[in-house]
Amino acid sequence: MVPTQTGKTGNKKRGPLGSLSDYIGNVSAAAFAGGVIALIASGLIHLLGRELRGAVIAFFAIGLILILTATVTGFETLRATVKSRKGFYGLNTTAMVLIFLAIASIIIFVGAKNNARYDVTSTRDFSLSRQSREVLTNLQQDVEAIAFFVPTNAQQIIVRGPATDLLDEYERRSTRFSYRVVDPELEPGEARRFGINPDLTPGAIVFSSQGSLQPVPTLLVQSDGSFTRNTNLERTFTEAILSVTHTTQKTVYFLTRHGERDPFNDTEGTEYGQALRELQGDNYIVRPLDLAAQQIVPIDAAVLVIASPKTDLLENEVAPLQAYLKGGGNLLFLAEPQTPARFRDLLKPWGVELGHGSVVDFVSSVSGQPRAPLVRREAYNPLPGMTSPITQPITDVTFFQDSTAIIPRKGPATNPDLPNIFYRDPPRITIIPLATSSSTLSWLEPDPNANKQDPNDLIGPLALGVAIEANSPFDDTGAIPKDAKTTQIVVFGDGDFASSRFITSFANRDMFLNSVNWLAGDYDLISVRPKLFEPRLLILTNSSWNYIRWSSLLILPVLVALAGGIVWWRRR
């Protein structure tokens, strides 16, 4: 028998094949460890860096190759290990862990694709408005947003988070919307291609669709040259999407020369400067109309607005207005208790008359002001089955300061139960109420200095706003021509609700803009608009602040320490 050679330690000496086996085993272990690390890195990059898709794929492929290499090179060792009892249990444990990870991954993936989120803030700060959701749902073409942010700029860091979070919401809502973030300092050519100067418009976001571009600033320039945060990002984002996806802009004309509310006056709260900005936000062009000079309503008028005239029409202005309405015009008429006579006569052929006096409502009105009726949701559509698209999405209240009543003219189709708010004679003419006063303790008060109901007063419910659709004037009795154009008129008994002072109050803005949308035929825009930013401050007294501070810094730690002491004492 040949004696076995041993080393100094008494172990058997290993030949070249043994050394090779050890080497291969080490390579297999290293490959397997490297593969696992690569797969983990791939998952982390996917979660943390959505724009690094190439790196995710590369690490995932490297991980698979390394694990496959480890399996091939260490196959014999793996087989011998599996046959042992310890190896069997180890393999079983590994398989269970992998199955658990696979199930968890599937749950996470399905949850990410079908996630549910709940906004519990009172003002719905983290939810898209109904209009934004509908605009995204109805997209017929792809829209891309390119956000130009410098990651090292302190001001842009503040606005980048809210802006990209909002863009994420938009992207979740529509497969036709996408966005990307670009550093204009690293990619100046991309900034030039979209017309962005990062020094003049830092943090700009450009919305692009089929060659149309609309930049949106996240930082607004102040008069002193400083920048402040744009607090109405959702509103400007939605306006930008409408701008780049609408190939043509419709024109809204405001009648002038009669003391009407001025949309180009941005200094006085009683004027319509804010209404102008709201209409432009819905992608309308707004222009004045001097009918005495032009003698015709322009052919491109999508909607004509007559906003609270103080002086009467000239004789040569009546005929062009009548011709416009008979030709299928769209009129938004904002009246007042003192509306001049010829303006009142303009509405009579279309089935309504303006009341003489102001609506007084003691049941539903602004606190302490019975001549400012407050219209709640149930008063928008008081007739079952007869709703208007204008008010259908509105859930908040509106109010009308010193409004007169809009009274349907009496005819054979007058509703006997609600004669003062509704009239329907299809297909000739239909008058649907948009907002009404309460059915009890509301009336039309002719005396401007008294709020006392008399037996002869017209009692509620009274229409504060109506929508009219007519294929022929009210007094016509002949057959309706087959090619007759539909005239659409929206009349409100008050113009204050859309003034700069009140248009952002409650749902006044939606009532005004939805009326214009309906008249212009932009039914996809009728909705509840993105909310304006409302800062919410917590005002504390010194005693309240001291209570919060000391209860956080002292009381809570002491209670935790006390609880720990009690547990220790019981278990010692």
Band (pLDDT 50/70/90 cuts) for residue 309 is very high
- In the chain, % of residues over pLDDT 70: 85
pLDDT digits (tens, 9 = 90+) for 89-142: 766 777 787 788 778 778 877 776 676 667 766 556 668 888 889 889 989 999
Classified as helix, coil or strand, 337 is: coil
Check pLDDT > 50 for residue 7: no
In the chain, where the domains are located: 20-113, 130-244, 249-525
Band (pLDDT 50/70/90 cuts) for residue 17 is very low
Highest mean pLDDT: which range of 41-45, 310-314, 427-431, 555-559: 310-314
Q: What average pLDDT does the segment 255-270 reach?
A: 94
Q: What average pLDDT does the segment 340-347 reach?
A: 97
- Please name which of 321, 485, 351 lies closest in space to residue 412, comparing C-alpha atoms: 351
Instruction: Provide the pLDDT for residue 459.
Output: 92
End-to-end, the C-alpha distance of the chain in Å comes to 67
Quickly tell me which residue has 């830092």 as its tokens: 202
Q: What average pLDDT does the segment 147-159 reach?
A: 92
Q: What average pLDDT does the segment 561-570 reach?
A: 84
Which tokens belong to 406? 């809009």
Strand order across the beta sheet in which 358-361 lies: 358-361, 442-445, 458-459
Please report, to the nearest 10 degrees, the dihedral formed by the alpha carbons of residues 44, 46, 50, 55 taken in order.
Answer: 100
For the chain, counts of helices (H) and of strands (E): 15, 22
pLDDT digits (tens, 9 = 90+) for 312-343: 999 999 999 999 999 999 999 999 999 999 99
Please determine, looking at this structure, whether the domain spanning 249-525 carries the CATH number 1.25.40.
no
Average pLDDT, rounded, for the chain:
85
Check pLDDT > 70 for residue 51: no
Instruction: Provide the pLDDT for residue 35.
Output: 79
What fold is seen in the domain 130-244? Glutaredoxin (3.40.30)
Torsion sign, CA atoms 116, 147, 206, 55: negative
DSSP string, 222-284: PTTS-EEE-S-HHHHHHHHHHHHH-SS-EEEEEE-SSS---TT--S-TTSSHHHHHHHHHTTE
Instruction: Provide the pLDDT for residue 48.
Output: 62
Q: What average pLDDT does the segment 392-415 reach?
A: 88
pTM exceeding 0.75: no
Q: What average pLDDT does the segment 351-375 reach?
A: 94
Highest mean pLDDT: which range of 173-187, 231-245, 408-422: 173-187
